[in-house]
């Protein structure tokens, strides 16, 4: 599942690849999102839980799963770019600045998804059918985030789908890959990235409020309005590290996972920017960057905390 980017980020990609030369821009975009937001940290969290808490880790399966995630994220990003272009979401106010997304981007996404399905089938044969079930759930979330006929992002469900895909589904799927089992405590751990990644999805849509409303994309920001959406994303962003703190306090996680609370610092900085700039897209960018920092810090510290006795 990919996260929608702000207009500023899309514009910078367009400048980097003028006249429809979008391959370089897409590769840059995918790499940026993947390593910071999408598959890497939740996938590593699941593997870390398997190793630190269950004493199980299979390097071959880890790298096979990693490759499948890369393919899936490439598919997500290319589909999001292509169908956003078709809907005109990011061209409402600047149709000249952004070049059209070529049909080759769509077929690149199709090829990537086919590759991801192949990896999922291989892992299911190696480990068991639940792996393929996680892959199918992720695929439905990814393919139809922007694509018809479902279009989760148009139905006010896109943010929740992102939270599930990059929270419980990703973490538990990664755990099962190594242990062949699911764990209730690991589900609680999966919410540590799940809620903040959902918060990022909400925050990223705030600068696109008018564009999304005009093209009929009734996401949570359009449904709630920008001010209430700020409150929603800040609450979701706080839930992740607070679950880490509560779990450590009740003995579900190692005490070192209390360090996830440090993510509340960047979140407070995000709040300071957001509450004054939610009606001004360009001025809102620091709020999103601070939210990204909160996510990265909280999930990374929580994951490292699992290795502390």
Give exposure, 204-216, as e/b (b: 16+ Cβ within 10 Å).
bbbbbbebbeebe
pLDDT at 37: 61
Q: How many domains does the chain have?
A: 1
Write the DSSP assignment of the chain as a string of letters. --PPPPHHHHHHHHHHS-TT--HHHHHHHHHHHHHHTSSHHHHHHHHHHHHHHH----HHHHHHHHHHHHHHHHHHHHHHHHHHHHHTGGGSS-TTTSPPPPHHHHHHHHHHHHHHHHHHHHHHHHH-HHHHHHHHHHHHHHHTTTSTTT-GGGTT-HHHHHHHIIIIIHHHHHHHHHHS---HHHHHHHHHHHHHHHHHHHHHHSTTHHHHHHTT---HHHHH-HHHHHHHHHHHHHHHHHHHHHHHHTTSS-GGGGGGGGGHHHHHHHHHHHHHHTT-HHHHHHHHHHHHHHHHHHHHHHHHHTT--
- For the chain, give the mean pLDDT: 83
Domain assignment present for 2: no
pLDDT at 290: 93
User: pLDDT per residue over 273-295, tens digit each?
Assistant: 999 988 888 899 999 999 999 99
Q: Is the pTM of this model over 0.85?
A: no
Domain assignment present for 1: no
User: Is it the case that residue 127 has pLDDT exceeding 80?
Assistant: yes
Which residues does 9 contact at the CB level (< 8 Å), separation at least 6? 29
- CA distance linking residue 174 with residue 66, whole number of Å: 9
Percent of the chain topping pLDDT 90: 47
Host domain of residue 181? 7-305
User: pLDDT per residue over 82-122, tens digit each?
Assistant: 777 776 555 545 555 556 777 888 888 889 889 988 998 99
Q: Which residue from 291, 268, 244, 265 is spatially nearest to 45, judged by alpha carbons? A: 244
User: Is it the case that residue 150 has pLDDT exceeding 60?
Assistant: yes
Q: Are 173 and 134 in contact (CB under 8 A)?
A: yes
- The alpha carbon of residue 103 and the mean position of all alpha carbons in its chain are separated, in whole angstroms, by 25
pLDDT at 30: 45
Domain assignment present for 296: yes
pLDDT at 17: 40
Which residues does 296 contact at the CB level (< 8 Å), separation at least 6? 36, 41
> What are the backbone dihedrals phi and psi of residue 101, each rounded to the nearest 5 degrees, phi first?
-85, 120
pLDDT at 16: 38
Domain assignment present for 46: yes
Mean pLDDT is lowest, of 69-73, 76-80, 156-160, 280-284, for: 76-80
């Amino acid at each position: 599942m990919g996260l929608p980017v702000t207009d500023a980020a899309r514009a910078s990609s367009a400048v980097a690849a003028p006249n429809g030369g979008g391959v370089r821009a897409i590769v840059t975009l995918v790499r940026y999102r993947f390593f910071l937001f999408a598959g890497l940290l939740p996938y590593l969290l699941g593997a870390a839980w398997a190793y630190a808490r269950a004493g199980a880790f299979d390097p071959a399966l880890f790298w096979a799963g990693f490759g499948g995630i890369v393919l899936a994220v490439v598919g997500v990003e290319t589909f999001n770019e292509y169908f956003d272009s078709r809907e005109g979401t990011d061209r409402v106010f600047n149709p000249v600045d952004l070049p059209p997304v070529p049909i080759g981007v769509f077929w690149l996404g199709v090829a990537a998804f086919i590759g991801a399905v192949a990896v999922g089938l291989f892992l299911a044969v190696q480990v068991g059918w639940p792996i393929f079930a996680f892959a199918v759930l992720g695929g439905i979330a990814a393919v139809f985030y922007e694509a018809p006929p479902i279009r989760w992002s148009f139905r006010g469900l896109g943010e929740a789908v992102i939270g599930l895909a990059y929270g419980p589904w990703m973490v538990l799927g990664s755990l099962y890959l190594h242990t062949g089992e699911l764990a209730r405590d690991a589900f609680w751990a999966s919410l540590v990235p799940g809620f903040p990644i959902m918060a990022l999805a909400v925050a990223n849509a705030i600068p696109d409020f008018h564009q999304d409303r005009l093209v009929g994309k009734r996401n949570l920001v359009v449904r709630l309005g920008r001010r209430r959406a700020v409150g929603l994303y800040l609450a979701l962003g706080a839930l992740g590290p607070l679950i880490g703190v509560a779990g450590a306090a009740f003995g579900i996680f190692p005490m070192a996972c209390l360090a996830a609370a440090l993510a509340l610092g960047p979140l407070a900085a995000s709040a300071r920017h957001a509450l004054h700039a939610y009606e001004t897209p360009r001025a809102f960018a620091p709020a999103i960057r601070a939210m990204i920092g909160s996510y990265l810090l909280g999930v990374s510290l929580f994951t490292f905390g699992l290795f502390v006795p």
